[in-house]
Structure 1
């Protein structure tokens, strides 16, 4: 990761991430550990896209999926009893919205290329929601 990428990631961490983290906690209706592998999200030569794309790829669909799950007490309790941690990363070079999420042992992992298929927010939200609903 070069200097441009490090600066862009640091800017995102310092300006947008606190709001995004708060939105996740509120949507989950509980405190939840969130682990973001920032280094894996930093694709060389794409630093100008991070502020726009990273929230759309990972955070917006996650928040919407969590809101859908916790829309009633049954969903909120099921989530609280199962979800322990959320991991956000780009380790598998996944670009398909339907493959964005996995769930195992109380850990929801979102793994997707951070600048690819940005507009498929609803598809990623549906995939995340479906994975969670099936696991709860």
Structure 2
């Protein structure tokens, strides 16, 4: 992944507010969709685009890019007993990151990988926020291929 930068005070405050007001609820939804406690790692320093702290709380910055599509994908996969069992047996961790060199703007399947129990999602923040279903579909396809 790309080198992590140091977050400034405004960015750290905006991330803390986002975690409290938005992310914690989405994290709970992801865990509920899987049906067991899993590790969810967000590489905030990678996702936090410089000089954009005032936008972090907007749905089109992170929420609809990373987290809502993941909730949707996990809910869709775990909608029946077979899917729930497959998720619970294999998924141990989700990593959200952004690597400018490799994150797709549109070909979302190129930003999703699943190996050794870890689902890694590498999308570009604040880009094409209306494509929730396309991102969710890319996550579902990758997990279905490997579960």
Q: Note whether the superposition's TM-score is higher than 0.5.
A: yes
After TM superposition, the structure 1 = structure 2 runs for residues 5-24 of structure 1, keeping only pairs within 5 Å, are: 5-24=11-30
Q: Secondary structure at the match of 1:103?
A: strand
Q: Which residue, out of 123, 128, 132, partners 1:117?
A: 128
**Cα shift at 1:59:** 0.6
- 8 Å contact 1:65–1:128 — kept in the other structure? yes
Q: Secondary structure at the match of 2:57?
A: helix
Q: Secondary structure at the match of 2:67?
A: helix
Instruction: Mark the runs of 5 or more structure 2 residues left unpaired by the alignment.
Output: 1-6
TM-score, structure 1 normalization: 0.93
Instruction: Mark the runs of 5 or more structure 1 residues left unpaired by the alignment.
Output: none
Partner of 2:84: 76
Over aligned residues, Cα RMSD in angstroms?
A: 1.3
Count of residues paired in the alignment: 136
Partner of 1:132: 143
**Cα shift at 1:25:** 0.7
TM-score, structure 2 normalization: 0.86
Mapped to 2, the partners of 1:113 and 1:46 lie a distance apart of 14
Cα deviation per residue 1:85-117 (whole Å; 9 max; x = unaligned)? 000111245123232311111100011111112
**Cα shift at 1:14:** 2.0
